[in-house]
Amino acid sequence: MKDLESQKLTWKQYLVVASLLFGLFFGAGNLIFPLHLGQLAGSNWGTATVGFLITGVLLPLLSVLAVAITRSEGVYDIGKPLGAGFAVVFMVLIHATIGPLFGTPRTATVSFTVGVAPFIPKNMQTPALLIFSALFFVAAFAFSYHENNILSNVGKVLNPLFLALLFLVFVVAFVNPLGNPQTAAVTGAYKHSALVNGFLEGYNTMDALAGLAFGVTVVTAVRGMGQKDAKSVSKVVAKSGVVAVAAIGLIYLLLILMGAMSLGKFNVSDNGGVAFNQIVNYYGGMFGQALLAFLLTVTCLTTAVGLVAAFAQDFHKHFPKVSYHAWLALSCLASFLTANFGLDQIIAWSTPMLMFLYPLSMVLIILSVCSPLFKKDGVVYFFVILFTVVPALGDMVVAFPSVVSQSSFGLTVASWRNALPLANMGLSWLVPALVGAVIGLAVHFIRGQKVAQVEDELE
């Protein structure tokens, strides 16, 4: 009898894992942000797309590869070279941001605001959101209650349904286009900085953070398919990850094009949710709106299932006195409460956290992927993070709503942060991070040479 640990998966099984990854990554934000980017960029959609794909596709792929290369099981392991204390704090911050504070509540508020709210009278929308979000997170709790069923629920049921509906939207939009994307008007910010603005817009997807957090969910699912040893698990995760993010990249491209084409009939909207609403109503009327409501609810639910499950799995692993189901219930309850503050408040307060966590996550992902080159030496991690964290904190303060950013404290932080290279682009951390990498690698190789000299002398 063949050892389970040596069994090879069929291509269909790889596709199921890829479908799981796709479903976990692709939420409502992945629909509305690229669509809005297309409207903002207009005829410069191509350049903006390149920037968006770096943070929206390449980084999530690298995060999956980081989990595979380092044979990690979650975000904790990615931060572990800097010590257990840093790893725990980083894990909590990531899960809090993409979980109950911002990311998970957004899955309910976007699907309600864009899909359901148009059917509800304005004076009834607050209680309607309360009821909708309660039912939404009860469903998320039920789908993620049994860890071993997450692969089946998301990869085999919810995600294929979502893809079929989205394909229908694309067919209608491209057979009868609203306008020519090559002649669409360009908004001011995208006339000269389309690449950088597209890059920063990719932060909103939260997928680079999610890729680290979903590691534990995906690894659990792959092990449930008979892949027990770390090498086999890493191989499956890496191959499936490439397929999943390639599909996401294609959908982003089509959504950005659809947003640029929509300018032939509509003005630039306040957000991508409004744009999606306008496009679907133009083609399908109330039937189209009902289809959109269902589409958004399905894709948001797949992401919510992954987020609450990853939160519960990671926290149960590191704080085992509380059961998986208790952490799961806590995540769903906290997300339900936050969701009822409304979409605008969630987006306004999530942006600063993303401006802080994305730089840290990006450098940790790149360090993890490149770690075999410097033997995962903690000193390299230390200098890169040290030089990244201070400007990232400055970017966070500047991005807060005016109650913080325009206070005396916020203005003081902004004054020194603005003196850093690329600060006007929101990338004040980039040059310091590169300096930290040079110093860290220099220390690593100097120490290595000294150790080699000592060993030679002893011989």
Kindly report, residue by residue over 67-86, the tens digit of the pLDDT: 777 877 778 888 999 999 99
Amino acid at residue number 34: P
- Main-chain dihedrals φ then ψ at residue 406, nearest 5 degrees: -100, 5
111 vs 343: CA distance, rounded Å: 10
**Tokens at 339, concatenated:** 């969701």
Q: Which residues of 71-96 are buried (b: 16+ CB within 10 A; e: fewer)?
A: ebbbbbbbbbbbeeebbeebbbbbbb
172 vs 339: CA distance, rounded Å: 32
Highest mean pLDDT among 166-175, 320-329, 345-354 belongs to 320-329
Other C-beta atoms within 10 Å of 294: how many? 16
> HEC string of 200-218?
HHHHHHCHHHHHHHCHHHH
302 vs 78: CA distance, rounded Å: 24
**11-340: which CATH number, 3.30.2130.10, 1.10.4160.10, 3.30.70.20, 3.40.50.300?**
1.10.4160.10
Q: Which residues of 339-358 are buried (b: 16+ CB within 10 A; e: fewer)?
A: bbebbeebbebbbbbbbbbb
CA angle 369, 314, 146 (to 5 degrees): 120
Contacts of 185 (CB under 8 A, 6+ apart): 42, 43, 263
100 exposed, middle or buried (CB, 10 Å; 0-12, 13-18, 19+)?
buried
pLDDT reading at 153 higher than 70: no
**Tokens at 85, concatenated:** 């204390």
Task: Name the pTM for this structure.
Answer: 0.80
**Alpha helix segments (H runs only) across 202-323:** 207-213, 215-223, 230-262, 272-318
Cβ 387 vs Cβ 433: under 8 Å: yes
370 vs 365: CA distance, rounded Å: 9
Give pLDDT, residue 324: 92
Contacts of 11 (CB under 8 A, 6+ apart): none
For residue range 115-136, list pLDDT tens digits in order. 888 888 988 999 999 999 999 9
Domain boundaries, the chain: 11-340, 344-458
For residue range 256-302, list pLDDT tens digits in order. 999 999 999 999 988 787 888 888 888 888 888 887 788 778 878 87
For residue range 24-72, list pLDDT tens digits in order. 777 767 888 899 999 999 999 999 999 999 998 888 888 877 877 787 7
Other C-beta atoms within 10 Å of 432: how many? 21
Cβ 252 vs Cβ 57: under 8 Å: yes
Tell me 266's DSSP state. Answer: S
- Main-chain dihedrals φ then ψ at residue 407, nearest 5 degrees: -75, 170
